[in-house]
Structure 1
Amino acid sequence: MSPPPSERERPAGQPPAAPTRTDRVARLASAFIGGPFGDHAVDPPRRRYWIPIRVILLTGLIAFAVNWLQKYPCSAGGWVDWQQYTSACYTDIRALWGAERLNEGAVPYRDHPVEYPVLTGWFMGVLGQIAYRVGAVAGTDGGPIFWHLNAIVLFICGAAAIAVLHRIRTDNRRTDLPGPDPDPALVHSRPSRPWDAMMLAAAPVVLVTATVNWDLFAVALAMPFFLYWQRSRPVMAGLFLGLAVAAKFYALLFIGPLLVLALRQRRLLPALQATATAAIVWAACNGPVAYWWPESWMRFFELNSERPVDWGTGWYVLRGVTGWEALWDSEFVNDLYLVCFALSCIGIAALGFFAQRKTAGGAFGLSAPSNEDIVPRLAQLCFLVVATFLLFGKVWSQQYVLWLLPLAVLARPKWGFFLVWQAAELFYFFSFYGKMLQVSAEDGRGIPEGLFLAAAASRWLAVAVMCALVVQEVLIPRLDAVRSLPLRPKPTAPTPPPRGTAAPAPAAAP
């Protein structure tokens, strides 16, 4: 029996896309390592050891090592003279060692309410127990042990996310084709793009945010959802989606785009299978904690409803620029956020359902031919939903950029504006600690409020422009690098006759 389509290998004969031929920034940067991929080069290159995945993972490990060094000054705890802000090395992992009573051997939820979803709570709890017991046996503080343990495991999670993204882009399969057994030539009509994973491995913001919190754990759980969905395995996709939601709630936002595209393609069953599996897995993770320690389990939901407008959000910038006093009211901001986010989701749903659909008799009816690669991609809609959630949310912590990074790479793997966005994120990251120093220290250190507002506004605008660029590529699929569709030829103007020649005589009227 022949293997199912999800298990078939990519047909031979189509070389991977070379970044220096498809991306202007990569082409310019290649000048430092010998120039762009040449016309006479062996395609694909005959590599024995330094194949793309090993080069990409090495780059990611170097980035994680730099992050380790950047956070190391804060790993010992006992911060004095606002060292966590002056060195920009603050990490929730080290701060919560004492705040969550992990230094006393407390078990999350049972002994102390935790402000995180269940899987993240158990993640910190298991490593907390190891660090507490090792510290007790060694007669030393378990705090540094706890931070280093978390850093090692989070780096493994980051490497796993990079490897899965590489696998997604190496296959680069289409999921919009009808029927249970589509033509393999159409399934693999997009070129392989293994080097897209380098954008995640070499993202500048990873250098400073990888271990601020436990978000890399959730990212590593969320990425296989896209891989298994691409391979037409909805149950496995739902399994990882449920685990990701149990770790960080942002992955719940993937369900909307999944159902919208399923409705558009009239293939609801796989999407419902994935959603049902995710719900069962999430309930299995949360059920025991909710049953035995309901008050501790509810702490996460209560905190998110009670929190006021946080530093650096769009509402904070709006309040700082306009002085709108109503934005101090958390309930008012909650309502305003829900309205804005709901309207955004309706717009994204309409974009996903109606973009590039053909009209029949003036009404939306028949879709474009199935062999045309014009259906919006799942990653594009997921990026838009998560991005608008952050743009209109009342909390936007600096590490939330890790949610967007792999989605941005999947949605729009182009280095140009990606680096502009990364620069805005770095500007905000360091400005945030300047602001924290300004409100914490009493000796006038820190940065002025205007500079912090400028940094927060630049981050907001950069993400908004990324959204606009993704929407543009949904509406004009030939601009989408993932599809690699040939651009339509522009009509050429007629060549003017040489000077001195007589114009042709007009044709006689019929």
Structure 2
Amino acid sequence: MPESRRIATARHERSDTSHTPAVDAPVSKGPRQEPVRLTVPTRNDRFLSRLTEVIGGPLGRFTDPGRVNPGIFTVQRVLVVLTVIGVLFAILAKNMCRTQGWGGMNSYQWACYSDWASLFHARGFSENAFAPFAGGELFEYPVLMSVVASLTAWMVPGADAFGGTLDRTLAYFDINLFFVAILWIVTVIVTSKTAGRRPWDAAMVALAPGMMLASTINWDMWAVAALAVALLFFARDKPFLAGIFIGLGTATKLYPILFLGVVIVLAIRTGKFKAWWLTVAGTATSWLAVNVPFAIADYTAWSYFLEFTRDRGAGFSSVWYAWNLSASNIPGMKQMSPEFINSAGLWGFAAACAVIAILALAAKERPRVASILFLIVASFVLFNKVYSPQFVVWLVPLVALAWPRWKDFLIWQLFEVLHFWAVWLHLWALSAQWEPQHSFPPAFYVYAVVAHILATLWIMWKVVESMLDPSKDPVRRVGQEDPQAGPFAGLPDKYTLGTLRTWLGARNAKNTQESSLTKDDATQR
């Protein structure tokens, strides 16, 4: 290596790890013996460092965060303040509908649509808070989401409240908004504690534009918070409790079950399967405890979510919908049937999981839990039949743990915001039935869908690079291995693709030798 390049590389490494202690602190099991020095974002992240010039530059190198009492400005308290700011922006993003109503074209024109307002009347919650369980209405969501929707509807005052002037739809929205704010704060705090020596990475979750715009569309934040808590329990070597929250999250939204894929891959690599069985046991316990009573009471209502998911066609913003929309405007291009989409999406996701497993087993160093989990969930999102705008809230906490680089994060969020607005403009154009020359062109919407897919793939590639080359991993560069490893922390690798190749090579050599000896014996006889 040329001398100038070697010096530049050494300077970069010193600037990026100046906050690490001389003796690395343990990352997993057992009580912490002493305070651990925390990573300073303005010192560690070059993008943030440049942005701080207007306030005096990054935190000085003689500070010692994590070991010096910060007074009232602890990391978690500041993160709560940042999250409250995010919640206020989320309210502002929906304020046109809150003040002008969700009727007509308002939801699309002002991009303030929310399933809460739409389903309050459409699914009978305004007449019967427990409509999904009363046999009259079918609700296209898993059991716990139905429970949440019903309980929040139950909290809405009756039609005669306040002299009959109460806007019950707005009340329903605001009650759900209150719970989302609590869940958002919980997710941020839990993510900060899961991130090890990088708690400030949770600020990405607090201030993500995608969270501000999409967290108030549906009840997905309940599943997001459940998965965040599960990650924390797993990081603290409590796989059964982690499984409990995985089961609860899966009973709310399907995607938290994908965490089991991470655990089985790491169990195979280490040869230790106890954590896998405990996590599965916890997941099965909570999921069955929630689902079995409802399935017994009303199987038709309970199974409607599965039937609805199976039978629905390509949903908005999925790659399949973008294809079909393009096919409807391009002569000779054929649309995809729901049956083909079901099969292609399933096999595409299965292939992606196989590739991720191979990468995780082939990497020289064991990949981090958050890295594998993000890749699996992102693949699930990309191959899904529908990409609802709120799906971005699934990915934000995982990106904060898997690739905590603010510049890349904000670029990705920029394309997600672009896609968010394109969805509502597209729906506005469809609903208003304008003349083509006056409406939002379908091609622009397809471009926005492709852009958000490419941006997600770009972040995925960054994570893959960090798996294959740990020196590029922002988390490992600060002197810690895997803050979420939990029961797998410190374990040696037993089965990797490298050891498998070695084992197969030795076995083939032994078989060749035995075959040669057999031939010699036959010749002698």
Which has more helix, going by share of residues? 2
**Shorter-chain TM-score tier:** 0.7 to 0.9
Q: Distance in 2 between matches of 1:432 and 1:90?
A: 11
Give CA-to-partner distance per residue, 1:266-308, whole Å, 9 cap, x none. 1101211111110111011011111111111111111111111
In structure 1, the partner of 2:80 is: 57
Secondary structure of 1:328's aligned partner: coil
Aligned-residue RMSD, C-alpha: 2.0
Which AA in structure 2 matches 1:454?
Answer: Y
Q: Is 1:412 the equivalent of 2:403?
A: yes
- Look up the match of 1:211: 216
Report which stretch shifted further, 42-51 or 83-92.
42-51
- What's the counterpart of residue 191 of structure 2? 165
Listed one character per residue, the Cα deviations across residues 104-135 of structure 1 (whole Å, up to 9, x for unaligned) are 0141233321111111110010111121x444
Change (3 A) 1:286 1:76: farther
SS in 2 for 1:104: coil
In structure 2, distance between residues paired with 1:482 and 1:233: 22
Residue matched to 1:360 = none
Which residue in 1 is equivalent to 2:281? 276
Shift in Å, 1:6: 6.7
Q: 1:228 to 1:65 in 2, by over 3 A?
A: same
Which residue among 460, 465, 469 is the counterpart of 1:472? 465
- Map 1:3-18 → 2, pairs under 5 A: 8-12=30-34, 14-18=36-40
Partner of 2:57: 35
Aligned match of 1:495:
none
How far apart, CA to CA, are the structure 2 residues paired with 1:295 and 1:276? 27
Q: Choose which of 337, 340, 352 in structure 1 pairs with 2:345.
A: 337
Q: Is the 8 A contact 1:64 1:210 kept in 2?
A: no
What is the 5 A alignment of 1:52-451?
52-75=75-98, 79-107=102-130, 108-111=132-135, 112-131=137-156, 133-138=157-162, 139=164, 140-169=166-195, 172=196, 192-321=197-326, 323=330, 326-356=334-364, 374-444=365-435, 445-451=438-444
| Residue 26 of structure 1: aligned partner | 48
**Dislocated runs of 4+, deviation >6 Å:** none
- Structure with bigger RCO (C-alpha 8 Å, 6+ apart): 2
Are 1:47 and 2:38 an aligned pair? Answer: no
Q: Structure 1, residues 233-272: CA drift from partner, whole Å, max 9, x if none?
A: 1111111111111110011111111111011111101211
CA distance in 1, matches of 2:274, 2:232: 18
Letter of the structure 2 residue corresponding to residue 204 of structure 1? P
Q: Any gaps of 5 or more consecutive residues in structure 2?
A: 1-26, 480-525
Q: Distance in 1 between matches of 2:387 and 2:294?
A: 27
Report the more deviating stretch, 422-431 or 79-88: 79-88
Q: Match of 2:474, as an amino acid? A: A
Secondary structure of 2:38's counterpart equals coil
Amino acid at match of 2:175: L
Q: TM-score, normalised by structure 2?
A: 0.81
Compute the displacement of 1:43 (Å): 4.3
Counterpart AA for 1:338? L
Q: Percent identity?
A: 32
Asked if 2 retains the 8 angstrom alpha-carbon contact of 1:204 and 1:422, the reply is yes
CA distance in 2, matches of 1:27, 1:392: 37
Letter in 1 for 2:134: R
Check the 8 A contact 2:90/2:212 in 1, yes or no: yes
Q: How many residues align?
A: 444
Distance 1:485 1:150 in 2: 39
Aligned to 1:362: none
Contact 2:371 2:463 survives alignment (8 Å): yes
Shift of 1:150: 0.5
Q: CA deviation at 1:99?
A: 1.0
What's the offset of the Cα at 1:75?
3.4
Q: CA deviation at 1:392?
A: 1.4
Partner amino acid, structure 1, of 2:227: A
Q: Using the TM superposition, give the Cα deviation of residue 79 of structure 1 relative to its aligned residue in structure 2, in angstroms.
A: 3.8
